[in-house]
A and B are shown apart, each in its own frame.
Chain A
């Protein structure tokens, strides 16, 4: 029963939000606008998929925005050097994967809380991105690369949406139907219990951060394609939007809880909110206030659930 409510509330909020906006501004439902919502939320959603995994396992990664920028710049360098688009994307993902691996390795070997490690990493990766580009955008990307962000499949399905769907299906499969996914929930729920049950905790954690890094790299490639340049300043502040998507979707900061479907709904709630506000002419300042309030509400609900579980268990 409570599980059902927990799953249903974010979904119901999303539907209600769409209905309200559609009534106030019918243009919201035009296929052009919906496609643009999908394009705008794709970058955040792709990273939020990886963040779901990291947060379910009880971790957090504040460096996603910086990893995205560094990876985007790395891919842009490859493309500007004449590499085909596919190689550019792979370069981005590899660069992101290396960053993620470093995060995971530092957290597990130094035994420092992930919040602190990735807070440091946020500065380090951003600094490297700025250093290697001298603070300037990487230009000279082939125009065909822009398809990654602006193209459509069969003329109607935006490519970024397609990427989101593929990533979501893959992460959903891992979390719900593999051993690694089960370990992810176990580690997040009680890391000591997982260790005592024979789970190789450090190895799993490194894999989760590595996957998140690779996905941040993919997001960096999409962003670079959208801007047709590699921006070392890309993705500033994205970490909070990514974490917010997970939390609004029912993921818990204390670990052991969260689903891919929930996170997608969380990302859409924020995307629709921003899009609707733009259509209705509400200022971006007001939008920030609203999104902030939504995050607090979602976390309050999560805490309320957790406390109920704790008192029932004693």
Chain B
């Protein structure tokens, strides 16, 4: 496998959505038997590039070559047929089928040739053999819906190895795995390399790349900023390439005076999600919550907001107890939740921008039963201006807006609702760099005005840049409180990571 020709080559890829350039002249080549790391911040264009490779999107310009042959993918099945397989971040398994059925979905072993009956026994044996070889402790007959997020990830990986003939793309494969499972995965990756697969490995955990990466490409704002052999430049340099500017510039300074405690949580528990969480947030303060996927962060803020009933504990907001678990009461008390999943719990997608923006505070626009639509337009225009929402059209259906602008609409919803305590769950997920700094600036203004802010984020540089204190959650518990000025990404991850002993205890 020392053949110098690239197994996969993407040349001069350009892609834009609704006039926004997402990828500009990006080239990427991956050789057989090599792990090519693709790194970059949220919104740098990694996912779009990989979706082009998977045939989900068509590039506006540029070409894809497999073993030197130019190839066009009109649809995802074309890419699969060329031996390109993906492991997506959002899992894509069929929950009602078994592990084995998912692994062989669409390529089941058949018996009684003409009848095309699925040979279940053959499928289960084959799957069991693969899982054993990979070191994954899974029952091939188990139904997916009973598995943990980590186990599902392992199924997903196993399936992709069946599909992948030439290229395997892994998008943040370790995000929900334990340390031990990560080791198994790295072992498997080395094994797949010897089979001659080219592996594209997307991650923002640079430290884990030391174990597996052969080459690295850094994407920033839709451009390939650096490409070279792993280890050629230092990690610090890679981080600088990813950010493209000093941290100070992305995270504008904040001059907020600390006031009285506005939100106090005592021993809050929701069974199976989190246990005995206590925290307090003062006016003018930004408290960050870090943790791995599944640590219970989203469940915590949703429970504080009243979207779910707590099984125990107390929530006190500006001196009044919130114990009804009713979002309408929380909103009336000045609490606002910027949800993690804006399409599921945030936006009314087929409604206009203005009605999404004003939804949490229509009372302020009502007099004598009548909605003052002129004032609504004015309010929308004011917030569009303040947060630079694009396109600046209050009647625009939000489904047709970009993710970053949708997120700004939701933030504006809570600004207009005059919320005092903000729960921000992944406030910049899927948001481009320009929009991110505007969101950061808006958060700072809120803190300066005396709001108390809780910010859940998986983006560690963001937490380090924005929070005053960082709380780390692991398996439903708060395990550390760190001063954001003193701590490092490595320290946060050390607290957040689940070790083997704990995995078995749980």
Interface positions of A (Cβ within 8 A of B): 177-179, 181-183, 185-186, 189-190, 192-200, 256-257, 306, 309-310, 312-313
Is B400's CB within 8 Å of the partner chain A?
yes
- Closest residue on chain A to residue B305 by CB atoms: A196
Which residues of the partner chain B approach A185 to less than 8 Å between Cβ atoms?
A: 348, 351, 355
Q: Is the Cβ of B339 less than 8 Å from the Cβ of A198?
A: no
Contact B347 A177 (CB under 8 A): no
Chain A residues closer than 8 Å to B346, beta-carbon distance:
193, 196
A189, B397: Cα distance in complex, Å: 12
Q: Are B371 and A178 in contact (CB under 8 A)?
A: yes
The reply to whether B362 and A182 contact each other, CB–CB distance below 8 Å, is yes
Contact A198 B400 (CB under 8 A): no
A-B contact pairs, 9 of them (CB 8 A): A178-B371, A182-B371, A186-B351, A190-B348, A192-B344, A193-B344, A195-B307, A196-B345, A198-B332
- Contact yes or no, B359 A200, CB < 8 A: no
**A residues less than 8 Å from B363 (CB atoms):** 179
> A182–B371 Cα gap in the complex (Å)?
9
Tell me whether A198 and B348 are in contact (CB under 8 A). Answer: no
A193-B347, A197-B413 known; A313 vs B328 contact (CB < 8 Å): no
Bound CA span A195–B308, Å: 11
Q: In the complex the two chains form, is A178's CB within 8 Å of B369's CB?
A: yes
Q: Is the CB–CB distance between A198 and B360 below 8 Å?
A: yes
Contact A179 B371 (CB under 8 A): yes
Tell whether, in the assembled complex, residue A195 and residue B327 are in contact, meaning their CB atoms are under 8 Å apart: yes
B330: chain A residues at CB < 8 Å are 198
Chain A residues with Cβ below 8 Å from B369 are: 178
Quick one: given A189-B350, A313-B349, are A197 and B371 in contact (CB under 8 Å)? no
Q: Tell me, yes or no, whether B238 is within 8 Å of chain A by CB.
A: no
A193, B348: Cβ atoms closer than 8 Å: yes
Q: Contacts of A181 on B, CB cut-off 8 Å?
A: 371
List 17 additional contacts besides A178-B369, A198-B328; criterion CB under 8 Å. A177-B371, A178-B370, A182-B359, A182-B371, A185-B348, A185-B355, A189-B349, A190-B347, A193-B346, A193-B347, A197-B413, A198-B327, A198-B331, A256-B351, A257-B350, A309-B349, A313-B399
The answer, yes or no, to whether B16 is at the interface (CB within 8 Å) is no
- With contacts A178-B370, A194-B359 taken as known, whether A312 is within 8 angstroms of B400 at the C-beta atoms is yes
Mark B62-88 against chain A: 1 for CB-CB distance below 8 A, else 0.
Answer: 000000000000000000000000000
Specify which chain B residues have a CB less than 8 angstroms from the CB of A193 in the assembled complex: 344-348, 359
CA distance A20 to B196 in the complex (A): 70
Say whether A197 contacts B351, CB under 8 Å. no
Q: Across the interface, which residues of B come within 8 angstroms of A256, CB to CB?
A: 348, 350-351
Quick check: B348 and A189 within 8 Å, CB to CB?
A: yes
Q: A267 to nearest B CB, angstroms?
A: 24
Chain A residues with CB under 8 Å of B348's CB are 185-186, 189-190, 193-194, 256
| B89: min CB distance to chain A, Å | 15
Digitize B328-368: 1 where CB-to-A-CB distance is under 8 Å, 0 elsewhere: 10111000010100001111111100010001101100100
Given A199-B359, A309-B350, A309-B399, A177–B373 Cβ distance below 8 Å? yes
